[in-house]
Amino acid sequence: MTSMDNAGRASAPSGAFAFLDRSHTIARPGFNRWLAPPAALAIHLCIGMAYGFSVFWLPLSRALGVTAPVACPADMGLIGELFTTSCDWKISSLGWMYTLFFVFLGSSAAIWGGWLEKAGPRKAGVVAALCWGGGFFVSAIGVKTHQLWLMWLGSGVLGGVGLGLGYISPVSTLIKWFPDRRGMATGMAIMGFGGGAMIGAPLADMLMKSFATPTSVGVWQTFVVLGVIYFLFMMGGALGYRVPVDGWKPAGWTPPAASSNALITSKHVHLDDAWKTKQFWLVWWVLCLNVTAGIGILGMASPLLQEVFGGKLIGVDATFSQLTAAQKGQIAAVAAGFTGLLSLFNIGGRFFWASLSDKIGRKATYFTFFLLGLALYAAVPSAAKAGALPVFVLIFCVILSMYGGGFATVPAYLADMFGTKMVGAIHGRLLTAWSAAGLFGPSIVNYIREYQLDHGVARADVYSITMYILAGLLALGAICNWAVTPVSEKLHMSEEEVAEEKKIADDTHQHFASDVAALGEEVTHSWKVTLAWAVVWIPLAWGIWITLTKALVLFR
């Protein structure tokens, strides 16, 4: 409940869990805004392990047999696999967890985005930690009891909800802390999602090898350890969240004139109105088409490189089909390095392109993604036919940088058009585009590949048509981006409506009104800032080092 202080001003709610309330996260004078990005990174580096879950597929496919899978009856369907305890699961059945991740990421972000704006980032971050960490514990039980449905429920559904809330929890907060550098701020946080697998996948591999015994592949124990680590790390990030007092702005920063860029508004559009506008759906398609093209390639990067270049990867003049089993093992190691290199560019692109968007604008940045991407996708078949491996690798590195950059730039794009008040909730609705792209992209690449192989097309040539189709999708994305216009002023919330939303969100800033100017004078040197960044950068640097070591195989 809310009480009054000695001066008669409203004070924050009290109670056992009052520290989770939004009013308890309002920053005090002396807070350095550079403490906010590490808190966001702490959460994103954990949930980013969703990209690395494939490290569990092979061990889980022999969870009973340990050294070799125990085959299920030929007539057993997917429903039977969900409940069987007598045979091992197929990798295709385990892979449904990956699909569930991104379906529930988009749906949970859309459903609870509005609640997040009212409850605040700390409460949302705590719920995300409980869901993501708890999902690992439920999955551990599923592995221990050999129940696939428990794994789907734990990691897929419960973990997917944690993904959605964890992903959007820092967006609105960082945009408000960095009105002068919106793109850079969201890029710093969202790059963590791209980097999570670089830390989690090798860590999980080390843990599984440590826990493995003659009777166990070590997965359920690994799930328990990762669940504890991720829960604690995410809780630290959630409790580190702070929101700026209403009316705060960086010292010495003056908001740009409204007329300098018609796409950037200083007003706010309510969630209920924003998602009904043509601008929302145009940006929805902008994100969906950019992600569809990128995610299709990301999921097939390893076989793509192996089938296109074959023996050339190890200095042998032979196609993929002509290689021996040992040689295929050698090129698989090279392809793993390629995949790791793409992950690095995926991460770096999130920060680079989002930061660049602060200089050239969000619309121009997306035009770069689509037009440059179109040219690069169209150039892939020529690079493949010429056997130009360095050019081929460089093309895909740039493509994946723009894939990551699209995720990091879109929150700032939304804030420019719809204002910052409800951008977290609007972003949550928009992430359904990611769920859709997660279905479109892999389907396009996989089914076209299979169709061409079935009709006798050589493995080295099966991706050419796919590249041209993906280039066409980027052309459609460029058209959607071109059609984006400023939101009508009649949809802007009035000052009274904004004040009412603050009241609903328990945004009790009155008792901090005198602190606005003091907060603007941020601390420039702080041991807390150094420590906070070290906590997230040490594991990230370890993951980057591991990835670079693997990527060097490409150039030997």
Residue 3 lies inside a defined structural domain of this protein: no
Residue 16 lies inside a defined structural domain of this protein: no
Same domain, 481 and 525: no
What does the pLDDT read at residue 240?
93
Same domain, 297 and 383: yes
CB 498 within 8 A of CB 419: no
Same domain, 500 and 447: no
Residue 434 lies inside a defined structural domain of this protein: yes
In angstroms, rounded to a whole number, what is the distance separating the alpha carbons of residues 346 and 341?
A: 9
Where would I find the H helices in 361-388?
362-385
Same domain, 436 and 510: no
Same domain, 282 and 231: no
String of DSSP letters for 50-70: GGGGGGGHHHHTTTTTSSS--
Residue 22 lies inside a defined structural domain of this protein: no
Residue 530 lies inside a defined structural domain of this protein: yes
Same domain, 320 and 200: no
In angstroms, rounded to a whole number, what is the distance separating the alpha carbons of residues 182 and 33?
A: 13
Residue 323 lies inside a defined structural domain of this protein: yes
Q: Which parts of the chain have pLDDT scores under 70?
A: 1-16, 256-262, 299-300, 460, 502-525, 556
In angstroms, rounded to a whole number, what is the distance separating the alpha carbons of residues 366 and 287?
A: 9
CATH number where 278 lies: 1.20.1250.20
Residue 73 lies inside a defined structural domain of this protein: yes
What does the pLDDT read at residue 330?
81
In angstroms, rounded to a whole number, what is the distance separating the alpha carbons of residues 15 and 68?
A: 54
**pTM of the full structure:** 0.85
Phi, psi for 213 (deg, rounded to 5): -135, 175
Same domain, 46 and 128: yes
Q: Which of 443, 471, 491 is the last residue of a domain?
A: 491
Residue 26 lies inside a defined structural domain of this protein: no
Instruction: Determine the length of the chain.
Output: 556
CB 363 within 8 A of CB 200: no
Q: Which of 491, 509, 528 is the last residue of a domain?
A: 491
Same domain, 322 and 245: no
* pLDDT single digits (tens) 307-354: 788 888 888 888 877 888 788 878 877 877 788 888 889 899 999 999
92: containing domain: 32-251+495-549
What does the pLDDT read at residue 398?
95
Indicate the number of domains in the chain: 2
In angstroms, rounded to a whole number, what is the distance separating the alpha carbons of residues 201 and 194?
A: 12
Q: Which of 475, 491, 507 is the last residue of a domain?
A: 491
Same domain, 388 and 503: no
Same domain, 446 and 511: no
Same domain, 105 and 188: yes
Same domain, 83 and 199: yes
